[in-house]
Amino acid sequence: MGWSCPSTAASRPSEFAPDRGKRPSGGNQRVPGGTTSVLTAGPAARKSFTAGRLRAGRHTAERRPSAVEGRGNNTNKDRRRMMSYAIVGFGRIGQALAHAFARKNIDVTVASRRPPEALEPQARAIGPTVVAKSLREALEADTILLAVPFGEHREVAKVLPSWEGKTIIDATNAFPVPEELGGLPSSAFVAKAFTGAQLVKGFNHLGAATLATDPVVAGGHRVVFLSGEDEDATARVEALAKQLGFAPVKLGKLDEGGALVHARGRVWGPLIFQDLFKKEP
Ligand SMILES: NC(=O)c1ccc[n+]([C@@H]2O[C@H](COP(=O)([O-])OP(=O)(O)OC[C@H]3O[C@@H](n4cnc5c(N)ncnc54)[C@H](OP(=O)(O)O)[C@@H]3O)[C@@H](O)[C@H]2O)c1
């Protein structure tokens, strides 16, 4: 049994390699239907990475209040509250996400099992708003993009005694789906480990090479699918996805629309690998 991730035919060969993290024995990376002829990004989407427009200084993204958070003073307070972001896992998907933040000049910390000094050269190469920190320091952020091999989520979850008040954006995939999930969508299983956090599944349906490229192609915005139990958390991630230039599409709860971006057994959800674009973000 193993953990895997979507890749595209345009991906580098290394993207077809199994995840490097710990996993149960016998797992091989699989591509749906045993074929690599999945959707690929167009030529424009394959243009080289850019660090984005680099302005003097940094800014942290402003939190967009959700509809249910009230109006008046509460809304103003929420508007003043600044969001902080961390990417945990600085491999293929973690770096692809870091490019998205760098492109928009949004601060993000990155961390993995390795010390920050080991990640710093790559972080710096991606852009000045990408800063490597220790895992513990990175987890001080209120929004954490989880980009570790599926089986490693438990190790990350153990680092904090409580995840109250935090939002986890789960970019992990479990493939083939291990039996221990007992029929739960993999992200619902991940959510159980992060006690107190709100989890939103997202940024998991495309290969890393595609995700790393500018999501604005010929005036269209690359779609990312979001699903989760909490509407406020999903709305916050929706706002972030838009800031990053993506067109978020909300699918509802994990076991409802979210099923479309989860694997079931040895079959990928039908929206995985679908590299779609919308005119409006
Ligand atoms: N690759 C894709 O195209 C793709 C697409 C969609 C979704 N995904 C999903 O995204 C996740 C990451 O995939 P990937 O391809 O980016 O994997 P990867 O290239 O192997 O990178 C994994 C990263 O996770 C870190 N890591 C592992 N265990 C950790 C732990 N306990 N605590 C902190 N960091 C840890 C590793 O850090 P060290 O280097 O320090 O060990 C490494 O930086 C997987 O769940 C995969 O299914 C991948």
Decide if 62 is inside a domain.
no
Identify whether 70 is part of a domain.
no
Whether 60 is in a domain gets the answer no
Q: What is the best residue among 7, 16, 20, 39 to mutate for testing ligand 1's pocket, by most ligand atoms within 8 Å of CB?
A: 20
In a domain, 35, yes or no: yes
What does the pLDDT look like over 29-57, one tens digit per residue?
A: 332 222 222 223 333 333 332 333 323 23
Ligand 1 center–CA 265 separation, angstroms? 21
The CATH number that applies at residue 89 is: 3.40.50.720
Residue 71 domain-assigned? no
pLDDT at 81: 60
**Counted domains in the chain:** 1
Residue ranges of the chain whose pLDDT lies below 70: 1-81
Residue 215 CB less than 6 A away from ligand 1:
no
Query: Which of 1, 3, 4, 5 has the most ligand 1 atoms within 8 A of CB, as the residue to mutate?
Result: 5
DSSP one-letter string for the chain: --------TTS-GGGGSPPSS---TT-----GGG--------GGGGSPP------SS-B-PBPPPPGGG-STHHHHHHHHPBP-EEEE--SHHHHHHHHHHHHTTB-EEEE-SS-HHHHHHHHHHH-TTEEE--HHHHTTSSEEEE-S-GGGHHHHHTTSS--TT-EEEE----SSPPGGGTT--HHHHHHHHSTT-EEEE-S-SS-HHHHTS-SEETTEEEEEEEEES-HHHHHHHHHHHHHTT-EEEEEESTTTGGGGGS-BTTB--TTTT---EES--
* pLDDT at position 82: 83
55 within domain boundaries: no
Q: State the closest ligand 1 atom to the C-alpha of 113, by its place in the atom list counted from 1.
A: 40
With a 6 Å cutoff on the Cβ, whether 146 touches ligand 1 is no
Find the domain containing 104 and state its range. Answer: 13-45+77-278
For atom 8 of ligand 1, the residue with the nearest CA is 5
